[in-house]
Structure 1
Amino acid sequence: MDSRYPIGTFEHTGEITAAQREQWIQDIAELPERAREAVKGLSEEQLSLPYREGGWMLKQVIHHLADSHMNSMIRFKLALTEDTPTIRPYDEERWAELNDSRDLDIEFSLQILDALHRRWVALLQTLSDEDYAKQFYHPGSQETTRLDYNLGVYSWHGRHHVAHITSLRKRLGI
């Protein structure tokens, strides 16, 4: 197993069905509890362990989830209210090195995930097929992304980072 991608990379080709979207929405709905469960009982010392050699500390992973998913919801809202907007990229590596990501209690980001995901899921459940076909443009990758595809990316993203934590716990027996 590649410790960078414990559940593999995100891949989806072909049509995205309503059933697939429902599964991805369910994954997004479950992420806050899965993240909370993944770090349950870990000490501050354990939260400061990197999930792999050269990787982020576990606490940085939790803070990154909050940062990334806030950005994603904003991208959804921009695409829903503008015609193929150009989104604002951010440097996730540099954000992860800021003091709040390195030092702040993870409970703050877990609370953000709880509230953000409740609101995000409420929005996602109201979108039509036409809404999911809306897109945004990412100037960094120079790609235009449909919202239904991005939903899948963030379903995977949450599971991917929870697996970073749970796979380290399994390897260390903690």
Structure 2
Amino acid sequence: MSEIDPLKYPVGLFLKPEAITAEHLTAWIATIAEFPQKIAALTETLTEETLTKTYRPDGWTIRQLVHHCADSHMNAFIRFKLALTEEAPKIKPYFEDQWAELPDTRSAAISSSLKLIEGLHARWTTLLQSLHSEDLNREYIHPEHGKRFSLGETIGMYAWHCEHHLAHIAIALKN
């Protein structure tokens, strides 16, 4: 296996455990619940100039990272709701790299996305804490990856996603 780029993947890649335990789920849901406070704490005093810093050459700016998290987590929340209300729905992928280049992502104040993340994560956490084991086994189909993802696995992937981008912001702040 090739070496993982520590700037691109500062917390490593998400590795799905062989068996997802209650302890995994508790930790992952806590990470998702705590994310709004953590990203707000990292970004609350940043200047417009600081928001243009990147975590690696050709990487996204801090501003783009914050807006990306709002976009990505909105999509994730909708995927959860689809999987809970439909039988293995095929979700609609989106071009996150292109979304990151849209005018709102490149120039809008991050306060709008921070507010969105706060409300979204409150709702998402309520939903995640209410799931039963049969709910965790529900799946959606991701056509871009050509595979099914269980909601249990997806909780882990988005907990990883939170930590992944918090690390990117922390690296950018050191640059």
Structure 1 and Structure 2 fold alike (TM over 0.5):
yes
Alignment match, 2:77: 73
Give the partner amino acid of 2:167. A
Alignment match, 1:85: 89
2:90 alignment partner, SS class = coil
1:96 alignment partner, one of 94, 97, 100: 100
CA displacement at 1:38 relative to structure 2: 1.3
**Count of residue correspondences:** 171
CA-based RMSD:
0.9
2:153 alignment partner, one of 110, 134, 149: 149
- Counterpart contact for 2:55–2:168, Cα < 8 Å: yes
CA displacement at 1:103 relative to structure 2: 0.5
CA displacement at 1:167 relative to structure 2: 1.8
1:44 alignment partner, SS class = coil
Residues in 1 aligned to 2:36 and 2:160: alpha-carbon distance in whole angstroms: 14
Residues in 2 aligned to 1:76 and 1:12: alpha-carbon distance in whole angstroms: 18
1:86 alignment partner, SS class = coil
The equivalences for 1:99-110 within 5 A come to 99-110=103-114
Alignment match, 1:128: 132
Residues in 2 aligned to 1:102 and 1:168: alpha-carbon distance in whole angstroms: 16
- Counterpart contact for 2:54–2:62, Cα < 8 Å: yes
What are the Cα deviations for residues 30-79 of structure 1, in whole angstroms up to 9, with x where unaligned? 00011111113211011012221010011000000000000000000000
Alignment match, 2:19: 15
1:112 and 2:116 aligned? yes
Residues in 1 aligned to 2:29 and 2:50: alpha-carbon distance in whole angstroms: 31
CA displacement at 1:168 relative to structure 2: 2.2
Runs of at least 4 residues off by over 2 Å: none
- Counterpart contact for 2:36–2:121, Cα < 8 Å: yes
1:16 alignment partner, SS class = coil
Residues in 2 aligned to 1:50 and 1:18: alpha-carbon distance in whole angstroms: 36
1:61 and 2:65 aligned? yes
Residues in 1 aligned to 2:23 and 2:10: alpha-carbon distance in whole angstroms: 25
1:168 and 2:151 aligned? no
Q: Share of identical aligned residues, percent?
A: 44
The equivalences for 1:23-62 within 5 A come to 23-62=27-66
Alignment match, 2:9: 5
Structure 1 window deviating more from structure 2 (132-141 vs 34-43): it is 34-43
Unaligned ranges ≥5, structure 1 = none
Unaligned ranges ≥5, structure 2 = none
Residues in 1 aligned to 2:83 and 2:16: alpha-carbon distance in whole angstroms: 21
TM-score for both structures, normalised by structure 1: 0.96
TM-score for both structures, normalised by structure 2: 0.95
- Counterpart contact for 2:62–2:172, Cα < 8 Å: no
